[in-house]
Amino acid sequence: MDFSFLPTYYMFFINGAKMTLILSFFTVIFGVILGIGLALMRMSRIYPLKIFSVSYIEFIRGTPLLVQVLLFYYGLPKLGIKFPELPWLGSAFPDVAACILALSFNSAAYVAETFRAGIQAIDKGQMEAARSLGMPHAMAMRYIILPQAFRNVLPALGNEFITIIKDSSIVSVIGVAELMYSADTVKGNTFQPFEPLIVVSIVYFMMTFVLSKLLGLAERRLRTSD
């Protein structure tokens, strides 16, 4: 195997890894926010909200992520939704924004089910005790139930973050310069189809390994605080 291209093209991989982390970071933030909202809607007694949440989750989980990315990428301009350019991303920002939205809406469906399971795992007596103290349902959910649910689902959320890092490679099909796109560029320039993929595999492993260790540290600290 010949890795002589690395001194020339190493910045391609570094910049690609940065873009992958940017995509994953914002996807996790928006995915968790949307996922919590969907979980609460699914558990709501308001029937239209419940139907919407169930339909959304089933549709997202039943269609490929690639199709969803393409729908956002080609569909948003047709709906008249345009994103301005940012100085640090330039003309790439509209494409990046579309990818973040697509990944976030996809992740939210899985996060919603994770949070629903975490909320339902909490003893119902805690909600009853909070209500008996005069707390409204929303306040009890915010200050009593959701913090405990978040702690319960932290390992699952960590797995979702790792999955997002790997799944973000799919946005290379629309030209977003994340890690996999950078590898394809190096492959085309060097005519070496195998070695750049080895480098990308190592970079992906390093990112997910470090993340898994950080999540393990957070879980241990939470157990210690208990």
The one-digit pLDDT tens for each residue of the chain (226 residues) are: 788 888 898 899 999 999 899 899 999 999 999 999 999 999 888 899 999 999 999 999 999 999 999 998 888 888 887 766 655 555 566 788 888 999 999 999 999 999 998 888 888 888 888 888 888 888 888 888 888 888 888 888 888 889 999 988 888 888 787 889 888 999 888 888 889 999 999 999 999 999 888 888 887 877 765 5
Identify the bridge partners of residue 86 per DSSP, sorted by sequence position. 90
CA 200 to chain CA mean position, Å: 20
- Can you tell me whether residue 24 is helix, strand or coil? helix
By the 10 Å C-beta count (0-12 exposed, 13-18 middle, 19+ buried), 220 is classed as exposed
Could you tell me if 132 and 77 are in contact, meaning their C-beta atoms sit under 8 angstroms apart? Answer: no
Copy the structure tokens of residue 201: 């595999």
The span from the CA of 90 to the CA of 72, in Å, is: 19
- 6-225 — its CATH code? 1.10.3720.10
Cα angle: 88, vertex 94, 96; to 5 degrees? 75
- Can you tell me whether residue 177 is helix, strand or coil? coil
Question: Look-up: residue for tokens 């301005």?
Answer: 84
Phi, psi of 85 (to 5 degrees): -75, 145
Residue in 149, 164, 157, 150 with CA at minimum distance from that of residue 215: 157
